[in-house]
Amino acid sequence: MDKEQRIVLTGFMGVGKSTVARFLASLLKCERIDLDTFIEQSEKKTIAEIFKTEGEARYRQIETENLRRILSNGNARIIALGGGAWTIAENRRLIKERNFTTVWLESSFEHCWRNIRLSKRERPLAKNKQHASQLFDERVRFYCLADWHFIIKPDLTSFEIAKKIAEEVFSMKFD
Ligand code: S3P
């Protein structure tokens, strides 16, 4: 196993980045950080509240500030990004500068949308299916820039996806 390898997980809302990151960290026995949770704790507001009171442009600045803090201070080897973070050039630059490998959890829009509908989390950019679908299409060209692409088949559990990443990216062996 490559002890130095550190990864960020990217992909559209609802693809399962946070859950996969949790399983992966437990398989690798390492620290992980969820960027959205980190932002909510450091800002003492939910992401939905930040969007409502300060707007998306300010949210993106806050997101970049927090990502920078995590990348420079944290010991985390696994970071789950929010769905928009990787689409921002400055964030991609910071991630590469810190030598993180980026893994895109790639799936269909319908799969993400189903999970978004089932989730209790309020997602300001996924209130409307048509808008979310357009965002999905616009973002594919950024997600494509990730180092690894993992196709998420709907029948795979988050644990199975984490295991596949551990095997392929971290060269771990399971019986
Ligand atoms: C966003 C995705 C969200 C969160 C914020 C913006 C986006 O994270 O960061 O609502 O722009 O796609 P999840 O991908 O975890 O839902």
How do residues 148-162 score in pLDDT, each as one tens digit?
999 999 899 999 999
Tens of pLDDT, residues 20-36? 999 999 999 999 999 99
Beta strands in 3-144 (DSSP E): 7-10, 32-34, 78-80, 101-106
**Ligand 1, pocket residues at CB < 6 Å:** 13, 17, 36, 47, 82-84, 123-125
Q: List the residue whose alpha carbon is closest to atom 4 of ligand 1.
A: 82
Mean pLDDT value of segment 3-7: 81
Tokens of 54: 């300060």
Cβ(24)–Cβ(18) below 8 Å:
no
Mutate to test the pocket of ligand 1, among 13, 54, 120 (most ligand atoms within 8 A of CB): 13
- Whole-model pTM: value is 0.96
Which atom of ligand 1 is least distant from the CA of 139?
12
Q: List the residue whose alpha carbon is closest to atom 8 of ligand 1.
A: 82
Residue 80 phi, psi (nearest 5) = -95, 120
